[in-house]
A and B are shown apart, each in its own frame.
Chain A
Amino acid sequence: MTLMAGGHPVFVSLKPSPTQDGELDSSSNWRLDPTELASKFTSRTKALVLNTPNNPLGKVCCQLSPQHLSRSLSRHPPHITAQTVCRTQVLSFWPGVLFLSPLPLRRSQQRPVALGGMFRKAGASLTRCLHHSLTMSKRLPARRLDGLEYNPWVEFIDLSKEYETVNLGQGFPNFPPPDFAVEAFQQAVSGDFMLNQYTMAFGYPPLTKILASFFGKLLGQELDPLENVLVTVGAYGALFTAFQALVDEGDEVIIIEPFFDCYEPMTLMAGGRPVFVSLKPSPTQDGELDSSSNWRLDPTELASKFTSRTKALVLNTPNNPLGKVFSKAELELVARLCQQHDVLCIADEVYQWLVYDGLQHISIASLPGMWARTLTIGSAGKTFSATGWKVGWVLGPDHIMRHLRTVHQNSIFHCPTQSQVAVAKSFEREQLHMGQPSSYFVQLPKAMQRNRDHMTHSLQSVGLKPVLSQGSYFLIADISDFKSKMPDLPGAAEEPYDRRFVKWMIKNKPRLPDHRAEWTHGLPPPQGLVAIPVSIFYSVPHQKDFDHYIRFCFVKDEATLQAMDKKLQKWKAELGP
């Protein structure tokens, strides 16, 4: 239970005093050594568990007098600190009994160890049926997973399923891929049966070939399908492969906030240290629509983040969640710093086709001197609106790609064949239509720009302040007016406001405890819209500063946007004039 609460159990034993020959031992002979007990109290001690009469010894604790205890406690007043998070693992103990342990304990370094003798005697089966858990004296999870268990998506995805909602949260289209892609996939699964078997480890040859020729032109590079292209399980898999291949214990990775949330745990899992730098909004004139292009990096601040330990910088353009498309000048700044400090650039460009208002997506790898140090990551899911196919790729120079291939061959080895076949076919089709009105890469952004405008307008009508998105699937909206109007939404004290706001939006008719009846200030129940709180795209220290934005996905079909409108109009009517 201590462990489940994230605590660190500290053990001290009751020790039997020697008995005279033949004399019956008594539980009262089992005592605590006061000095030893005192030594267990530290500034991080939060509580002591006392069990009297004691199970299993039967001792009645008269020796541990209140004074005795309070002396120890007053000398080391326990205080609350987030740092008491326990990084150890002990399983199998009688709930609540262990702390005054009647048996000597095995110990190893900071690792409390499950009760030796008692449970050995009781046998593994007893422990099992009691706790359904593993009696393992060794630490169970690998250290590389420390602090990575929490994933913000799980919570919000679950919530959105629990309630009747219009889901504008997760970034996937709810309309089908284009006909040519669907047909390509149908052909791949019903044609040659050998497409049900493994293909080449680093990518289905026709796919690596078309990716090399297609992106070779865009990047101004001649790409070799075998050396410069690696097909991965989605762009997510590409990112993971890149981090594992290049980031070592102690390396620093510069991440621009707000950032797609996986960059941080992926850096940590590789043993690296994320270093954050925020895009900062410039103030807008009253009534003026904020734009993601007003969110900029401070060049001096960015430069200050580069050190001799900096191994890589992650650049995401168009940016998720902000929808910012980095300008050429901004990219040149990043490129200059990367070259100056000899840093690799991991360029996540999965939304490269989704750029609006006539803006141009620029790959940083196409800037002078950058190809040799840049990995460019793309996604068939975002390219052809088929996120479920899980096909992604990395493009880069062979001297970096070879390390990614090593990770790939030791982690998943192959990607599914048929999805790759369909993606290859779809790119072949696109290559023929490149730049023409029939090209999906022309049609999709056009359609999504309409969606963006639609959503921007609708959100404004209820008093949300959207930030104009220049690219990607997303836009963010400022909820600071709501924060000042109704600051006390339900939720944990520590929970950033935007998370509470999103939960409030999702839950259709929350039953309110009486004492919080006023929290809505007379506002009607929320309307069942799912968005994603933007603070999850920030590092913990910066979450406080960015807890008043929420992210909406506008890559949804017409019906979804209409349903959104209905919800918003109802909301507006209930908000009143």
Chain B
Amino acid sequence: MILAQRRLCSLGSRTEFLKTIYSSKLLGFSTSAFWRLKAKDQRLSRVSSSQGLRGRICSTSLLSSGHFVAVFGIPWFVFASSKFLRKMSLKFKNSKRIEGLDRNVWIEFTKLAADPSVVNLGQGLPDISPPSYVKEELSKVALIDSLNQYTRGFGHPPLVKALSSLYEKFYQKEINPNKEILVTVGAYGSLFNAIQGLIDEGDEVIIMIPFYDCYEPMVRMAGATPVFIPLRSKPVDGKKWSSSDWTLDPQELESKFNSKTKAIILNTPHNPIGKVYTKEELQVIADLCIKYDTLCISDEVYEWLVYTGNKHLKIATFPGMWERTVTIGSAGKTFSVTGWKLGWTIGPNHLIKHLQTVQQNTVYTCATPLQEALAQALWIDIKRMDDPECYFNSLPKELEVKRDRMVRLLESVGLKPIVPDGGYFIIADVSLLDADLSDMKNDEPYDYKFVKWMTKNKKLSAIPVSAFCNSESKPQFEKFVRFCFIKKDSTLDAAEEIIKAWSKPKS
């Protein structure tokens, strides 16, 4: 019993739970159930505006059995049986693979930013409209009855065909639509499929810090050990600080490889720094992958979003790399339709087939109408790849203006942002703003406190960069926060107003 309670403790707010064990026991309640109610009440008082709970629980008198019955619908005396209690908490436990993986930065911070008065530069979702032809294609598809039903599990046939046609240009080889492409529930689903399909208990996976936050829990869920290597910045002195100043030390990188290394996860253009890996940098990684017989999971969801003077390169096109690389792309990032939740993985069949096995045992198939609309939209742009109108060319142009605006804005208040070469995020050291965080709880990294404080007091939200770090490296990045700039001008205006007003009293 005690053991089970400890387990539960580790999953949630410890002190509260420990304190309440005895009282609840005396009253004959399941402690886990009691804790749950307690947690609910805390949350209620904290986010009372949360819409789902609004007006629901008027009686917060926790210990009334009436409330209890209302929640569980079973008589309270069922819970009073000590035998039932003991067994229940054990069987209702999570599987080991997800132990400790319950915390998530997005859940936490999107809840905070849900307040409509907050200017949201947090989560990477555009508030600009997707291109009109993309919306139109979906509207057209919604009129076709047969597209409301299941399609092929590994990808709607017209979509995998369009993807193969699009990417053949970049890989300079034929891509078999059925065997070398898998359509997934977002790039997130691609990452999950790749990691579950190829990574085993006891394997090691190299991840570069900072990293898109899901890499670590996904690797852990597969039973493997993440091995981290930080991107380090050169000193820049008076110059502009650029994402290209952040590099990997080749020797340090090589030291992370060993016989257990199963894969390395590469993310270019990089989230959150915005680094676009150069040919030389990718060659170093490719050489090590070959030398140590390692797979490469290449997350290239921002592949089209590179700014003047940079070029996105695919590591899978380096000699010897196609056969050991799976490359992940995203419709959400490609056409600014994150809500479609469509992504894809491209790679050799001997890798893709294992990802397909995962797919057929997880979601089986993705939404049909969205896949059809995506295929149609892709064809429009495939036919005009060199045209400036092509969204793959026009979106980065549009975003570059927004990036430059963000750089100027952040610099105007004395910050030194890291100018991204790609992606739609910009990070900056915000400790220079000297925010008074003394009211914030002290058990969190500086940037978590800062963002919560800023969201509450300045009505501006962002994402703490230490969320993109493993626990050891959080101190190195906790002064940074990430702003998303794929936002309409009025949103950026509002952000500008907040940031400028904030700096005034100081000067």
Contact = CB atoms under 8 A, between A and B. Distances in A.
Interface stretch (A11-19, A319-327, A409-417): A409-417
Contacts of B362: 236-237, 240, 411
A412 B149 contact: no
B360 to A, nearest CB: 5
A139 to B, nearest CB: 7
Contacts of A219: 73
Given A245-B95, A410-B221, A195 B52 contact: no
A416 B340 contact: yes
A387 B148 contact: yes
B70 A222 contact: yes
A177 interface: yes
Interface string A211-239: 00000000111101111000001101100
Interface in A334-375: 342-344, 368-369, 371-373
A138 B293 contact: yes
Interface string A52-80: 00000000000000000000000000000
Contacts of B143: 186
A385 B145 CA distance: 11
Interface string A106-135: 000000000000000000110010001111
B368 interface: yes
A209 interface: yes
Interface in B127-145: 127, 129-130, 135, 138-139, 141-143, 145
B73 A141 contact: no
Given A151-B360, A194-B127, A226-B50, A233 B366 contact: yes
A174 B350 contact: no
A297 interface: no
Contacts of A124: 290, 320
Contact of A196 (B52, B70, B107, B337): B337
| Most B-side CB within 10 Å, residue of A125, A193, A270 | A193
A221 B350 CA distance: 48
Interface stretch (A200-208, A427-435, A503-511, A538-546): A200-208
A254 to B, nearest CB: 14
A201 B293 CA distance: 36
Contacts of B470: none
B379 to A, nearest CB: 18
A342 B198 CA distance: 35
B497 to A, nearest CB: 22
A205 B53 CA distance: 11
A236 B358 CA distance: 13
A142 B196 contact: yes
A270 B214 contact: no
A138 B50 CA distance: 49
Given A247-B95, A343-B91, A398-B36, A193 B130 contact: yes
Interface stretch (A27-35, A95-103, A261-269, A480-488): A261-269
Nearest to A267: B361
B78 interface: yes
Interface in B336-367: 336-342, 348, 350-351, 353-354, 357-358, 360-367
B218 A399 contact: no
Interface string B217-241: 1100110000000000000000000
Given A411-B362, A418-B370, A174 B98 contact: no
A400 interface: yes
A240 B369 contact: no
The contact size tier of chain B is 35 or more
A416 B370 contact: yes
A412 B369 contact: no
A135 B323 CA distance: 9
Interface string B83-123: 01001101111111110011010110010000000000001
B91 A262 contact: no
B218 A134 contact: no
A410 B101 contact: yes
A284 interface: no
Contacts of B214: 410, 413
B389 interface: no
Interface of A: 91, 124-125, 128, 132-145, 148-149, 151, 153-154, 170, 172-177, 182, 185-186, 189-190, 193-201, 205, 208-209, 219-222, 224-227, 233-234, 236-237, 240, 244-249, 262, 265-266, 269-270, 311, 342-344, 368-369, 371-373, 381, 385-390, 397-400, 402-403, 405-407, 409-419
Interface of B: 11, 32-33, 36, 40, 50-53, 56, 70-74, 78, 84, 87-88, 90-98, 101-102, 104, 106-107, 110, 123, 125-127, 129-130, 135, 138-139, 141-143, 145-151, 153, 185-186, 188-189, 192, 196-201, 214, 217-218, 221-222, 262, 290, 293, 295, 319-320, 323-324, 332, 336-342, 348, 350-351, 353-354, 357-358, 360-370
